Structure 1
Amino acid sequence: MLDVDLEGSATRLSPEAPVPVVDAQRCWHRPGGAGLAAMLAARHDRDVVLVTGIADDDRGARIRELLAAGGVRVLSLPMRGSTVTKTRIRAAGQSLLRVDHGDARYQTQPLPDEVPEALMTARSLCVADYGGGLTALATMREALTRAATTAPMVWDPHPRGRPPIPGCVLVTPNEAEAKQLCPDGSLDALRRQWHAEAVCVTMGARGARLFVGDAPRRHVEVPVVDRLAAARVDACGAGDRFAVAAAVALAEGAGPHEAVVMAVTAAARFVAAGGAAGVSTTASLGHDGDALTPSRQAGAETSLDAAEQVRRWRADGRTVVATGGCFDLLHTGHVNLLRHARQLGDALLVLVNSDESVRALKGPNRPIMPAADRARVVAALGCVDAVFVFDDATPERLLDDLRPDVWVKGGDYAIEDLPEAQVVRLHGGDVITVPIVAGYSTSQLIATARSERANHGRTSR
């Protein structure tokens, strides 16, 4: 499905009825449903495959465009009808109304051979069931049942969807869904009925309850540092972020309890960072705010135009912190800098030098990793809210547009030597240096690795 956020200001009531009048200012698009889950997964892994149905219409084409830009490979099943589109009307960070339209339905036929193959070779699987009919197809259920024997599966259910297939490691209904699925509250009986290893009920800012085998029920709390942020009003996409984080953790060898702990933290930070807005792309406003032409196409390394992202944070009253660098090989010094920077405000934007910019600064043998990969690695850190790749040798020109409240650099720089310091201060921002972690330097790490490789080669000979 396609999700559309139409944002504006509401400062008066309509003369025809006591309802707010929204003056539309911005329009945002993103893939909805399982498409959002796939976009979030692509922030952690370069090899994300989405099995779904996409209608053959303009909005379906828009979804394909957004997924491709987000690094998601799509295996599409045929559908008839029009793309399901959900449009939220928002003002001052609040949703006032949601309008749904579209009637796309799956056409029953054998699955393309590449779908079972993708399922059987996956390191983990996340089923984001939105009740659209895909999990009701007998061929799909058979393929999922086989796949569940080869990789951990997380099933995010929906009251209108079908029951999870046997063998899921984790089933993740939210509190309202759990009450509909199990009115008598005996979720452990439901777990046994589904033949699932664990059931986890998500409860927003209150964390999650986990039922695993014969073990007592466990409550996983949101970390104290994230609790206030997790209580933000707009939690759109938090369930998808939770399910994806759990699937990623299971793929890396975590058990159900450890995966849920990681997923609770990831979902809370996702909400704190603005929720689904972080994977939205600006679109030009049409007569009904449902236009399909992006004003700037988001790349895999950034979810929003940087200036637009900063404006949205400021509209929410957040203190914007920015930092930048090449981040060629992410190490402890980088992580220390980014964590300290995030603590100085409410949102952290990281500016990453493009490949051309790195070569100009470091020489023809750098970077080691391309910009898209460097951006994805940085974006995967919980303390980072958004990443933007820039082409100039220094970020002065970009900072002149962004005007962050705080600009942060490592302590190996003197503030008076930073060419961008004057630009930041000109707009009332602060420039702060963070002490570096001794012994960690990308250039030194690369030189050491090359030296050891050369020594190993001589020893072998």
Structure 2
Amino acid sequence: MTAPLVVVGDVLLDIDIVGTSSRLCPDAPVPVVEQAEERPRPGGAGLAALLAAAEGREVVLVTALADDEPGRRLRAMLEPHMEVAAFHLHGGTPCKLRIRSGGQSVARLDAGEGQALDGPVGPRVADAIAGAGAVLVSDYGRGVTRHRAVRSLLGELPAGVPVVWDPHPRGEPPVRGVRLLTPNEEEAARLAAADGAEISGFGLSAAGRRGRRLGRMWDLEGVAITLGAEGALLCDGSEAPFLAPAEPARGDSCGAGDSFAAGAVDVLAGGGSLTAAVSEGVRRASEFVRAGAAGAVAAQLAETGTARLVPERDEDAFDVAERTRRAGGTVVATGGCFDLLHAGHVSLLQHARRLGDCLIVCVNSDASVRRRKGPTRPVTHAADRVRVLEALSDVDAAVVFDDDTPAPLLERLRPDVWVKGADYAGTALPEAETVRAHNGEVVLLPLLEGRSTTRLLSTTKGHAS
């Protein structure tokens, strides 16, 4: 039997109040949020543990909880998925409430200043840490990692048990023997500065210097500094650090660091290398943000009782559209052949993506292109055109259609905004009626002058002759 993953750290109750807003309050310049829906979820170490359990691992959560209403709500969400070994939290369970509208936070309210003070932790906590196959420490500065008994138990772990430490600027330094430290850029800067190391700037160069500094400071095997959309930089004593690049992902990044750390410890628990662990952490964090981040965890818990966010199959264009709608976002779509992608295409896609929260590209099939352009087209097959389009950061998904117009596809997709180039001005678009039937709108965007696939092909032929 495989020893469980033990997550050690501070648990918070996170609540999103999600609604719509179209007007300001009459007595103050603040938005009125209507049709509000409460979406509670575990935060801090609770979210990290839940994400690890959603991947099928046996998880034990070691934390401190108060016997209050937020603490009881957290137990009810966590205990169906893992064992919770909790000792007493002095004061109220921390609760963070975000009011959100249109994919943005309008306000945040924090309550509960509970702290894990020194005292007995009980045999279950001691047994859980001693029997761990791997440990993820998720420090949110609330005292669990400062507790003397907990630190002593962590320091006594055998050398073969990998420990990943996700730090907090108000938290505690890692114990000896930690295999991987996972701060973000801001946390790394604060941690290095606290030791008197004034390393200015941000980006890869500054992250590398801070990572090496933190590694020497605490005698760590590796420091992985998460860089948001850039991925994560691993400093492990090698001459050059390893960069694990992230896949493009837009959305609320709340909880992405917990997803990264859970992915990294999963690999190390299986005997993987630090580079493999950091790469998997970045992949999980990107998927987490793309799937709707921590808000999607709350929705999954409410709808299915599980926190698993990654579908069993790859997400297609219809999944992207539905996920965006569920989150209250705007679905934007555009279409065309996109044969020999050029600067005009890229400009149109960039502008289209800014109109909403996802962009889906409807691509003419090879047969459809031949019917429109003639027997010599397309130059590039549909599968390759889709692959190139989906590699662009502005494109969330692409889907191929075989009809002469995209109207049947749009009947299923139901975009809020359908984008075409300004060269269609004055032209009757057969799909416009379909888009508007679902309360969508058709928008024309300007084109870059003189850019077209036909012109590129004719120029190429002229040079060849």
Task: Provide the identity percentage.
Answer: 40
Does residue 30 of structure 1 match 2:41?
yes
Residues 345-391 of structure 1: CA deviation (Å, up to 9, x unaligned): 79xxxxxxxxxxxxxxxxxxxxxxxxxxxxxxxxxxxxxxxxxxxxx
The residue that corresponds to 1:191 in the other structure is 215
CA distance in 1, matches of 2:148, 2:412: 53
Query: What is the TM-score normalised by the length of structure 2?
Result: 0.61
The structural deviation recorded for 1:79 is 1.5
Out of 280, 283, 286, the residue aligned to residue 262 of structure 1 is 280
The residue that corresponds to 1:149 in the other structure is 159
The residue that corresponds to 1:279 in the other structure is 297
| 1:39-78 paired onto structure 2 within 5 Å | 39-69=50-80, 71-78=81-88
The structural deviation recorded for 1:100 is 0.2
The structural deviation recorded for 1:298 is 4.4
Does residue 172 of structure 1 match 2:190?
no
The residue that corresponds to 1:350 in the other structure is none
Q: Report the residue type matching 1:252 in the other structure.
A: G
On the 8 A contact 2:139/2:168 being kept in 1, the answer is yes
Does residue 299 of structure 1 match 2:305?
yes
CA distance in 2, matches of 1:319, 1:128: 38
CA distance in 2, matches of 1:139, 1:150: 21
Out of 202, 217, 221, the residue aligned to residue 241 of structure 2 is 217
Q: Report the residue type matching 2:187 in the other structure.
A: E
CA distance in 2, matches of 1:404, 1:165: 54
The residue that corresponds to 1:82 in the other structure is 92
The residue that corresponds to 2:16 in the other structure is 5
DSSP 3-state at the match of 1:216: coil
Cα pair distance change 1:148/1:234, threshold 3 Å: farther
Does residue 234 of structure 1 match 2:252?
yes
CA distance in 1, matches of 2:157, 2:21: 49
Does residue 317 of structure 1 match 2:333?
no
The structure with the largest alpha-carbon Rg is 2
On the 8 A contact 1:6/1:24 being kept in 2, the answer is no
DSSP 3-state at the match of 2:121: coil
The structural deviation recorded for 1:297 is 6.9
CA distance in 1, matches of 2:74, 2:275: 34
CA distance in 2, matches of 1:315, 1:274: 11
On the 8 A contact 1:148/1:168 being kept in 2, the answer is no
On the 8 A contact 1:136/1:162 being kept in 2, the answer is yes
- Runs in 1 of length 4+ with deviation above 6 angstroms? 301-304
CA distance in 2, matches of 1:4, 1:314: 15
The structural deviation recorded for 1:189 is 2.5
CA distance in 1, matches of 2:90, 2:299: 26
On the 8 A contact 2:267/2:277 being kept in 1, the answer is yes
The residue that corresponds to 2:31 in the other structure is 20
Cα pair distance change 1:319/1:270, threshold 3 Å: farther
Q: Report the residue type matching 1:121 in the other structure.
A: G
Instruction: Structure 2: give runs of 5+ residues left out of the alignment.
Output: 1-11, 200-208, 311-318, 334-358, 362-410, 415-436, 439-465
DSSP 3-state at the match of 1:147: coil
Q: Report the residue type matching 1:299 in the other structure.
A: G
On the 8 A contact 1:94/1:233 being kept in 2, the answer is no
The residue that corresponds to 1:392 in the other structure is none
Q: Report the residue type matching 1:154 in the other structure.
A: V
Q: Report the residue type matching 1:197 in the other structure.
A: E
CA distance in 2, matches of 1:217, 1:13: 49
Q: How many residues align?
A: 307
Cα pair distance change 1:312/1:302, threshold 3 Å: farther
The residue that corresponds to 2:111 in the other structure is 101
DSSP 3-state at the match of 2:215: helix
The residue that corresponds to 2:225 in the other structure is 201
Cα pair distance change 1:143/1:235, threshold 3 Å: same
The structural deviation recorded for 1:299 is 2.1
CA distance in 1, matches of 2:293, 2:327: 15
Q: Report the residue type matching 2:86 in the other structure.
A: S
The structural deviation recorded for 1:38 is 0.6
Cα pair distance change 1:277/1:301, threshold 3 Å: closer
Cα pair distance change 1:312/1:114, threshold 3 Å: farther
| 1:309-458 paired onto structure 2 within 5 Å | 312-313=325-326, 315-317=328-330, 405=413
DSSP 3-state at the match of 1:39: helix
DSSP 3-state at the match of 2:33: strand
